[in-house]
Structure 1
Amino acid sequence: MQNERQAIEWIHSFLPFGIKPGLQRIEWMLEKLGHPEKELNVVHIGGTNGKGSTVSFMRCMLTEAGYNVGTFTSPYIEHFRERIAYKGEPISSEELVRSCLNIIDVVEELKRTDLGSPTEFEVITVIAFDFFARVNPDIVLLEVGLGGRLDSTNIVTPLLSIITSIGHDHMNVLGGTLESIAYEKAGIIKPDIPAIVHVKQPEAFRVIQDKANKVKAPLFAYGTDFHSLPKSVTMDKQFFSYQSQSGLTLSLETVMKGHHQIENASMAIQAIEQLRSMKHYELSNDHIVRGIRNTTWIGRFEKISEAPLTFVDGAHNEEGMKALAELLALHFPTYKYRFVMAVTKEKEMKALLAPYVDLPASFTFTTFEFERAQKAEQLYEQAPVYNKSICADWKVAIRRERESCKANEMVIICGSLYFISKVRAFLLER
């Protein structure tokens, strides 16, 4: 293994092993490597939606205060290396190769045991821990891959646990009810370690609360212990206030659109408050204000062009699509919407598109190069909207919609983040 291409090919060679929830394989590998994860100060972030945005808000606030921040996120949007980042920059090709070489013997040895081969995500997680232990960031913001309880990131003992939301996603793995999904997400809550949560559904919140009580973890809930209040909105930004039980009151602005991003920002601010109260980190209120103002996150209602007005957004589940509909009504109430959409096979289109039935919107359903991508015809048949069409070639679909877009219309390309990654690269190249 001599270069980035070979390293990524090696990592991707574990894709066929799929999703195998459980901590035995990651525990085995980290034990062999001397537990690099134990050298890190970690904030562990789980939830259905909002993980990446919350990480981004936190990273920007901590960076404003001069801290060196490591982040572990998924999936990637621009290129593979961004999943593991330090000081806002993706891991370098050289460091990626170095970490792969550091762990390859352990991975090959694991394959020969009764535990069997690790998954791709487990390998990436170990690479991240190896890299972060080497560069020694002041803090690592560690995003859960899937679920929480049996996710390979759940090997850490964090400073804080964060659960951003509970929603209808990955139900084929996490269970068919909000309670079962909440049980899996709550698995990242650790004994005596503060947990920050924003779970709106009472039945899901009770599961989270029960877990926190059981392990004596202090629980800080959005809407009870801290909250936000929208003030005003423009096409490009929104203004809001933040208040918490500690007495902190802030007036803020963000270019991240939609009320859900105000809530994500509030989760991030509460996390900073907890870090400050533990005396681990020193951030002024000005660091918080500037950090929130400067936060952006690619692929999350990101403007690609002004003429025609075009956005890409990674909304791909019921809650994400509802938030997108609310965002459009808030920031672009006078427009007509031209959607191009592609999602994976397990999605329920009737639930996803329920908020759009009465909106001035048209949908072109397409597909993309991915083993779990749903066929355009299936999406079309299941969609409850009236103004709909099919175009199996997503590049053609996007070109047609952009060429047909009028002055009072906008193009929104949404769905799977794997789809958005391809679309974004295609549009920015043009």
Structure 2
Amino acid sequence: MNHTYEQALAWIHGRLPLGIKPGLKRMEWLMEKMNHPERRLRAVHIGGTNGKGSTVAYMRSMLREAGYETGTFTSPYIEQFNERISVNGEPISNEAMIELVEIIRPLAEELEKTELGGPSEFEIITAMAMYYFAYIHPVDVVLFEVGLGGRFDSTNVIHPLLSIITTIGMDHMQFLGDTIEDIAFEKAGIIKNGVPVITGVKQKAARKVITERTREVRSSVYQLGKQFTADWQESLPQGEDFHFQSVFADMKDLHTGLNGLHQTENAAIAVMALLYLRAFYAFQIDEEQIRSGLQTANWPGRMERVSEQPVVLLDGAHNPEGMKALVASLSERFPGKEITALFAGMKDKQLDGMVVMLEEAAERIVFTSFDFPRAAGKEEFEPFLKTHQWQEDWKGWIEEFRSSAKEDEVLVVTGSLYFISEVRNLFDSRS
């Protein structure tokens, strides 16, 4: 077919109108046609409502310090589409993307003619990642981030060394259910026979669901707060300091590379995962490599500083749990500062609850929208415009804020990772 990169990307994005298509039948069909790449992978499967990306970032950084070539599959992307499939943090090349599309496009067109129907964009990119890490660029270990839920997510065709469920919160209820137990059931669907799970889930009801699932499939569970703990000590100029304690090892004064009180929990989950791989799969990683990997971990759009004067933070708090964590971190890091928030969110998110939480930390909230099909517009924010303001031109508004901000003012841009991506690109282009 001889695609260009632009044509390959346009074909992938052309699958978007198919929407989210839960179920594994199409993925199983693709895996069969692609000679089962999922069976050739040494993988860790990471699910949860929040914290998946940060946990992947910590694990990748520690594994890289220990000399392991590590593949990652993540979403959404922040800077370029290719970063969804990365090796040691480097996105795959445009040429690799073209090669993968050349392989999967005929299969997708064949699948479209069956009763199963054509694969979604996410199924396409998941299959591409599995084929890439199995046959084009094999790596030592692959970290697969769940896209949505778990039980019917397209990544759930893998049989990993280890499963991780970071947190569980009220998000994507239209697909996962409207109770914490329903959502926990869907997330726990990634737990496989005999494969242990490491989790940071806090709600008693959700923990019960996970425990019941592990009993059904005869696997074990390592729970944050029980088999391992993260004891936050203080916020550092960059990152957080915490003590880690577990059934495998204890470490004092670990430093995270990412800001936010919640990052100590994500980091602890990642450390516990590495210690498990060391104990049961002979991964060679020592304490210094763990320390160094945590401290050098990078993940854009999570309490990320893109400007020092004035301080401008980007944080993709796109659901109530994420917003709660952001508000707690802002209160700890910037006491006495005047905080302004620029907020853009999605129509299908719990906007009311997030805004109410954000008001606890921000003196002023400016609402805006951006070019995305599901982005909320002015009418969705109308109830809040009596006390806050609307801004159509967010790019011009940011420039105006930066030029007029006082020394004690802080700007936090939040609400959607897709919006964060656009704002980040703005700062990159003008830095």
Per the normalisation by structure 1, the TM-score is 0.97
Deviates more, 1:244-253 or 1:216-225: 244-253
Which residue number in structure 2 is paired with residue 422 of structure 1?
Answer: 422
> What amino acid sits opposite 1:60 in the alignment?
S
> What amino acid sits opposite 1:130 in the alignment?
Y
SS where residue 262 of structure 2 aligns? helix
Distance 1:360 1:135, change over 3 A: closer
Which residue number in structure 1 is paired with residue 198 of structure 2?
Answer: 196
Which residue number in structure 2 is paired with residue 368 of structure 1?
Answer: 370
Task: Tell me how far 1:392 sits from its aligned partner.
Answer: 2.3
> What amino acid sits opposite 1:176 in the alignment?
D
Distance 1:172 1:303, change over 3 A: same
Gaps of 5+ in 1: none
> What amino acid sits opposite 1:396 in the alignment?
G
Distance 1:380 1:412, change over 3 A: farther
Which residue number in structure 1 is paired with residue 228 of structure 2?
Answer: 226
From 252, 257, 267, give the equivalent of 2:269: 267
Distance 1:172 1:382, change over 3 A: farther
> What amino acid sits opposite 1:33 in the alignment?
M
1:4 aligns with 2:5: yes
Which residue number in structure 1 is paired with residue 405 of structure 2?
Answer: 405
2:58–2:270 contact (8 Å) kept in structure 1 = yes
Matches within 5 A, 1:257-336: 257-336=259-338
Which residue number in structure 2 is paired with residue 80 of structure 1?
Answer: 81
Task: Tell me how far 1:393 sits from its aligned partner.
Answer: 2.6
* Distance in 1 between residues matched to 2:218 and 2:371, nearest whole Å: 46
1:357 aligns with 2:359: yes
* Distance in 1 between residues matched to 2:161 and 2:40, nearest whole Å: 12
Which residue number in structure 1 is paired with residue 43 of structure 2?
Answer: 42
> What amino acid sits opposite 1:376 in the alignment?
K
Which residue number in structure 2 is paired with residue 248 of structure 1?
Answer: 250
CA offsets per residue over residues 250-272 of structure 1, 9 Å max, x none?
A: 43112311111000000000000
2:60–2:70 contact (8 Å) kept in structure 1 = yes
SS where residue 378 of structure 1 aligns? helix
* Distance in 1 between residues matched to 2:120 and 2:362, nearest whole Å: 43
Which residue number in structure 1 is paired with residue 388 of structure 2?
Answer: 388
CA offsets per residue over residues 210-252 of structure 1, 9 Å max, x none?
A: 1111111110000000001112223433211101023433431
Task: Tell me how far 1:382 sits from its aligned partner.
Answer: 5.0
Deviates more, 1:346-355 or 1:21-30: 346-355
Which residue number in structure 2 is paired with residue 31 of structure 1?
Answer: 32
Deviates more, 1:39-48 or 1:200-209: 200-209
CA offsets per residue over residues 143-171 of structure 1, 9 Å max, x none?
A: 00000000000000000000000012111
Q: CA RMSD in A?
A: 1.4
Deviates more, 1:59-68 or 1:352-361: 352-361
2:12–2:121 contact (8 Å) kept in structure 1 = yes
> What is the total number of aligned residue pairs between the two structures?
428
Task: Tell me how far 1:301 sits from its aligned partner.
Answer: 1.2
SS where residue 155 of structure 2 aligns? helix
From 131, 134, 137, give the equivalent of 1:135: 137
Distance 1:318 1:215, change over 3 A: same
CA offsets per residue over residues 3-55 of structure 1, 9 Å max, x none?
A: 21111011011011000100000100110110011111000000000000000
Which residue number in structure 2 is paired with residue 91 of structure 1?
Answer: 92
Per the normalisation by structure 2, the TM-score is 0.96
> What amino acid sits opposite 1:415 in the alignment?
G
Task: Tell me how far 1:61 sits from its aligned partner.
Answer: 0.4
CA offsets per residue over residues 322-355 of structure 1, 9 Å max, x none?
A: 1001111111112111111100001223311333
Deviates more, 1:51-60 or 1:83-92: 83-92
1:364–1:397 contact (8 Å) kept in structure 2 = no
Task: Tell me how far 1:137 sits from its aligned partner.
Answer: 0.3
Deviates more, 1:99-108 or 1:310-319: 99-108
1:349–1:382 contact (8 Å) kept in structure 2 = no
From 153, 157, 160, give the equivalent of 2:159: 157
Deviates more, 1:211-220 or 1:137-146: 211-220
CA offsets per residue over residues 65-110 of structure 1, 9 Å max, x none?
A: 0000000000000000000001221010111111111122111110
SS where residue 71 of structure 2 aligns? strand
> What amino acid sits opposite 1:40 in the alignment?
L
> What amino acid sits opposite 1:97 in the alignment?
I
* Runs of 4+ more than 6 Å apart: none
* Distance in 2 between residues matched to 1:265 and 1:96, nearest whole Å: 31
Deviates more, 1:273-282 or 1:46-55: 273-282
Gaps of 5+ in 2: none
1:62–1:69 contact (8 Å) kept in structure 2 = yes
SS where residue 56 of structure 1 aligns? helix
Which residue number in structure 2 is paired with residue 175 of structure 1?
Answer: 177
* Distance in 2 between residues matched to 1:271 and 1:316, nearest whole Å: 26
CA offsets per residue over residues 156-207 of structure 1, 9 Å max, x none?
A: 0000000000012111111111111111100000011110011111111111
* Distance in 2 between residues matched to 1:380 and 1:159, nearest whole Å: 48
Distance 1:98 1:136, change over 3 A: same
> What amino acid sits opposite 2:242 in the alignment?
F
Task: Tell me how far 1:360 sits from its aligned partner.
Answer: 4.7
